[in-house]
């Protein structure tokens, strides 16, 4: 009798616990239906990157070497003071059309030098870069290390389109946006950019005016063009062998198609005249 009473109490307690959970679940669902959560500023104001048409897009894409050289110039003159490119060596610039002497000069004149440790003195020093060196890292001990850009177009969704939109997307919040999301006002020391994940970015606008760089090929260096060119360059740094991979992939597909045709022809020849 006592055992039966104990089991009954256990069932009652379990049923009550389940009932409380069901009531809580029903209340939560009802609340979401009658009073759905308001969208956050990030959800409402964040913009999807604009489409970017580059010669390297698509399975048959090829690098535009002239554009890549322009993009490297923008990186060198605008971006390199803050961002590293530490997975790329200077000699790889030869793939962009620079000759050996030009590569050596670029390496030697690069403002950030290679760190060298003097074992005898126990101190760090510097030396000029050589062609076989990777682009040296940029350090900001007080504020941390800005992101390395070697793989940025692989590390960010939409890749080059994201980089281009971010560089050209700096803006001021409109009075309507501020009124709708008063708590999302851009804090001091940050810059409003709707293409950035949380809308506010610490990096000041790097491309502030047309003709920040001078293109040797006569291309008009508008802000949009400079952003497009450096985005194309960063596609190359992330995957310098992309064009070769595309060509190899096309050759493999053509080979498989030819092999399929030959195999079908052989099958028809071997089994010709044989009734199943």
> Within its chain, how far is the Cα of 35 from the centroid?
37
82 annotated to bind ligand: yes
Q: E strand or H helix at 43, and its extent?
A: helix 41-45
Alpha carbon distance 92, 106 (integer Å): 12
Burial 224-253, CB ≥16 within 10 A → b, else e: ebbbbbbbbbbbbbbeeeebeebeeeeeee
Q: Contact 213/192 with Cβ under 8 angstroms?
A: no
Place of tokens 């076989």: 132
Q: Contact 243/56 with Cβ under 8 angstroms?
A: yes
83 annotated to bind ligand: yes
Nearest Cα to Cα of residue 160 among 45, 240, 48, 49: 49
Nearest Cα to Cα of residue 38 among 149, 175, 180: 180
Measure the CA angle with vertex 263, ends 259 and 266; round to 5°.
Answer: 140
157 annotated to bind ligand: no
Q: Contact 156/149 with Cβ under 8 angstroms?
A: no
226 annotated to bind ligand: no
Binding residues, by number, are 79, 82-83, 203
> Could you tell me which residues are annotated as the binding site for heme c?
79, 82-83, 203
């Amino acid at each position: 009798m006592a055992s039966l009473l104990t089991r009954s109490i256990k069932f009652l307690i379990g049923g009550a616990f389940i009932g409380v959970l069901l009531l809580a679940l029903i209340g939560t669902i009802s609340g979401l239906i009658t009073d759905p959560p308001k969208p956050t500023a990030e959800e409402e104001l964040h913009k999807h990157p604009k489409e970017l048409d580059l010669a390297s897009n698509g399975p048959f894409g090829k690098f535009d070497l002239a554009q890549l050289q322009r993009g490297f110039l923008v990186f060198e003159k605008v971006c390199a003071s803050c961002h590293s490119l530490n997975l790329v060596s200077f000699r790889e610039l030869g793939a962009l059309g620079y000759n050996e002497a030009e590569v050596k000069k670029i390496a030697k004149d690069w403002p950030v030098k290679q760190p060298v440790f003097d074992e005898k003195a126990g101190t760090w020093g510097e030396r000029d870069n050589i062609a076989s060196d990777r682009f040296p890292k940029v350090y900001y001990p007080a504020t941390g290390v800005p992101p390395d850009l070697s793989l940025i177009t692989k590390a960010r969704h939409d890749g080059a389109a994201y980089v281009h939109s971010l560089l050209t997307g700096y803006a001021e919040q409109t009075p309507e946006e501020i009124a709708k999301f008063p708590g999302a006002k851009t804090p001091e020391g940050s810059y409003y950019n709707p293409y950035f994940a949380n809308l506010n970015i610490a990096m000041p606008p790097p491309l502030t005016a047309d003709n920040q760089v001078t293109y040797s090929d006569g291309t008009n260096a508008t802000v949009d063009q400079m952003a497009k060119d450096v985005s194309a360059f960063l596609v190359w740094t992330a995957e310098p062998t992309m064009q070769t991979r595309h060509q190899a992939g096309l050759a493999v597909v053509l080979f498989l198609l030819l092999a399929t045709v030959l195999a079908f022809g052989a099958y028809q020849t071997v089994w010709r005249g044989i009734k199943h």
